[in-house]
């Protein structure tokens, strides 16, 4: 290793400590939200879990603004399925990846010992004692009696139908009575897991039980949402009847929730939108087309609650669902594949949500019907190839082995930077100026890639960028956490 290389490695920590500009998130806000939870002790504080990737967000102003919690890691090939706030602790379940815990409202996270190999699909707390919790996992039902510090399996390994648990709920009066929903009907224990019984009479066969709500005001009344609709039991799950009133033979229902302020007021998030009932489920009214995935009620304001949704992000109502307003500022959960500009606008294409346009004179993205941006071709040997706008015969390629350059239209290539580079871009208006992206680190070249220099910026070890775009500013795209921006320096040497 050369002395220059050794010196650069020694100086790197000092350089990173300098107050360099930071990447700023700019959206496009919204997208697919899995869970929203409210801190009952501090109702202005909320947690939101994204459906795309493994991102967790926090709001401390009643969902007006959200901040990504960078300490929660990007877990490869995982999704976040559940979240919960108990006194002094935030919990998020990953599938796979175990149960993650934070004791400082998300500033730091760690996986709960003993859960590392689990996929955690659901988590519930017994309201009479928040130290008592139950979790639904790919290895059955697990319980904790010490605020999620330690866990034990309480469902037998010998019952195959109890191997995957996607929803759990406690009886409000008895912590030993637990309902467990599986991808094919529910089960129940009345003695803390020593014995289990099927609890599905009256349900359609093979119903996937997405959520369970036990009525604290009327003993024995339980609601369950399933792929075949909503069910109600008046005898603690011994028998069920399918709730009528929502059109559709088998209306897929992701969540059913009971207002803590009015036991007769129910809300349901279905594949055909959100519905409410004011008479305990006898009659239903459609509220909107949002596909709600979770509901968080305010503990004091009876008409205020929040929802997470599959396509409309986070929403808030202050009138018990008569109207909703988006509360997505700072929250983003979109899979972005392409970013490009047409001169006047920046265009981002989401895999699931269509196109978004950011006019250069504006500060917010707008959904738009726009021609589909074309992904530039790549090969197994390189990530991206770009041509010099002032000399089309000059090409640059970004690859794991570095940057390659061709001056004859791609007939011959030579290496000009021997370092892993994910994305590369020419400045559209300044001849010879180009940029290369390595995770969050950006390099620049004044001479079409012949020599390269580091463009200093603050780096976050928990963030990963995959795509670079250069226009009036420098933009970087994350896999699922939106677009980040830095101002273009007047002189990159500074």
In a domain, 9, yes or no: no
In a domain, 78, yes or no: yes
pLDDT band, residue 88 (cuts 50/70/90): very high
pLDDT digits (tens, 9 = 90+) for 451-493: 999 988 887 777 789 999 998 889 999 888 899 998 887 665 4
Residues 269 and 280 in one domain: yes
Residues 113 and 190 in one domain: yes
pLDDT for 274: 96
pLDDT for 457: 84
Range with lowest mean pLDDT among 159-173, 289-303, 377-391, 424-438: 377-391
pLDDT for 370: 56
Q: Which residue has the higher pLDDT, 18 or 266?
A: 266
In a domain, 494, yes or no: no
In a domain, 493, yes or no: no
Domain boundaries, position 298: 24-332
In a domain, 247, yes or no: yes
In a domain, 449, yes or no: yes
Query: How far, in Å, CA of 436 to CA of 120, rounded?
Result: 39
Quote the number of domains for the chain: 2
User: Of the residues 297, 332, 367, which one is the last residue of a structural domain?
Assistant: 332
pLDDT digits (tens, 9 = 90+) for 421-438: 999 999 999 999 999 999
pLDDT for 15: 43
Residues 254 and 343 in one domain: no
Average pLDDT, the chain: 90
Residue 231 has pLDDT above 90, yes or no: yes
Residues 235 and 361 in one domain: no
Residues 46 and 126 in one domain: yes
Query: Which range in 18-27, 192-201, 333-342, 356-365 is most confidently predicted, on average pLDDT?
Result: 192-201
pLDDT-above-70 percentage for the chain = 91
Instruction: Report the pLDDT averaged over residues 243-252.
Output: 79
Whole-prediction pTM value?
A: 0.89
Residues 279 and 394 in one domain: no
pLDDT for 362: 64
pLDDT for 322: 96
In a domain, 6, yes or no: no
47: domain CATH number is 2.130.10.10
344: domain CATH number is 2.110.10
Residues 250 and 317 in one domain: yes
Residues 264 and 352 in one domain: no
In a domain, 11, yes or no: no
Instruction: Report the pLDDT averaged over residues 141-155.
Output: 97
User: Of the residues 316, 332, 348, which one is the last residue of a structural domain?
Assistant: 332
Residues 309 and 388 in one domain: no
pLDDT for 9: 42
User: Of the residues 332, 364, 380, which one is the last residue of a structural domain?
Assistant: 332
Residues 348 and 315 in one domain: no
Contacts of 233 (CB under 8 A, 6+ apart): 199, 202, 220, 221, 222, 223, 224, 239, 240, 241
Residues 149 and 274 in one domain: yes
pLDDT digits (tens, 9 = 90+) for 114-130: 999 999 999 999 999 99
pLDDT digits (tens, 9 = 90+) for 164-216: 999 999 999 999 999 999 999 999 999 999 999 999 999 998 899 999 999 99
Residues 325 and 365 in one domain: no
pLDDT for 182: 97
Q: Which residue has the higher pLDDT, 375 or 269?
A: 269
pLDDT for 361: 59
């Amino acid at each position: 290793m050369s002395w220059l290389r050794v010196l650069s490695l020694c100086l790197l920590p000092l350089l990173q400590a300098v107050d360099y500009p930071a990447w700023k998130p700019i959206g496009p806000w919204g997208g697919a939200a899995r869970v929203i939870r409210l801190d009952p002790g501090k109702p202005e504080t909320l947690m939101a879990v994204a459906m795309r990737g493994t991102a967790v967000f926090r709001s401390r102003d009643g969902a007006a603004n959200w901040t990504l919690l960078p300490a929660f890691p990007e877990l490869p090939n995982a999704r976040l399925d559940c979240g919960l706030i108990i006194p002094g602790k935030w919990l998020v379940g990953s599938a796979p990846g175990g149960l993650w815990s934070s004791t400082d409202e998300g500033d730091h996270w760690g996986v709960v010992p003993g859960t590392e190999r689990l996929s955690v699909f659901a988590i519930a707390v017994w309201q009479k004692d928040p130290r008592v919790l139950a979790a639904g996992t790919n290895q059955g039902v697990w319980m904790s009696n010490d605020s999620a510090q330690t866990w034990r399996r309480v469902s037998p390994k010998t019952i195959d139908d109890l191997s995957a648990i996607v929803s759990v709920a406690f009886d409000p009066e008895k912590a030993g009575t637990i309902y467990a929903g599986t991808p094919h009907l529910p089960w129940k224990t009345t003695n803390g897991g020593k014995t289990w019984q099927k609890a599905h009479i009256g349900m359609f066969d093979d119903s996937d039980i997405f959520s369970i709500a036990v009525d604290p005001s009327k003993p024995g009344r339980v609601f369950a949402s399933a792929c075949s609709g909503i069910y109600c039991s008046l005898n603690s799950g011994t028998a069920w009847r399918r709730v009528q009133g929502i059109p559709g033979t088998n209306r897929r229902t992701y969540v059913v929730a009971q207002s803590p302020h009015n036991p007769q007021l129910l809300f349901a998030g279905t594949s055909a939108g959100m519905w409410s009932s004011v008479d305990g489920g006898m009659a239903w009214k459609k509220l909107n087309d949002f596909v709600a995935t979770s509901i968080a009620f305010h503990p004091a304001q009876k008409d205020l609650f929040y929802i997470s949704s599959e396509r409309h992000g986070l929403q808030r109502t202050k009138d018990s669902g008569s109207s909703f307003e988006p509360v997505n500022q700072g929250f983003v959960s979109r899979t972005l594949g392409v970013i490009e500009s047409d001169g006047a606008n920046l265009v981002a294409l989401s895999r699931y949500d269509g196109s978004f346009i950011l006019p250069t004179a504006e500060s917010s993205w707008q959904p738009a019907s726009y021609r589909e941006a074309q992904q530039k071709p790549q090969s197994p040997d390189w990530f991206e190839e770009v041509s010099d706008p002032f000399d089309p015969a000059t090409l640059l390629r970004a690859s794991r082995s570095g940057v390659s350059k061709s001056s004859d239209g791609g007939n011959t290539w030579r290496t000009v930077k021997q370092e892993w580079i994910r994305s590369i871009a020419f400045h559209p208006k300044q001849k010879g100026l180009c940029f290369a992206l390595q995770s969050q680190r950006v390099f620049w070249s004044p001479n079409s890639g012949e020599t390269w220099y580091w463009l200093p910026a603050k780096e976050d070890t928990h963030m990963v960028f995959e795509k670079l775009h250069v226009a009036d500013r420098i933009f970087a795209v994350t896999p699922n956490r939106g677009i980040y921006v830095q101002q273009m320096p007047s002189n990159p040497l500074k």
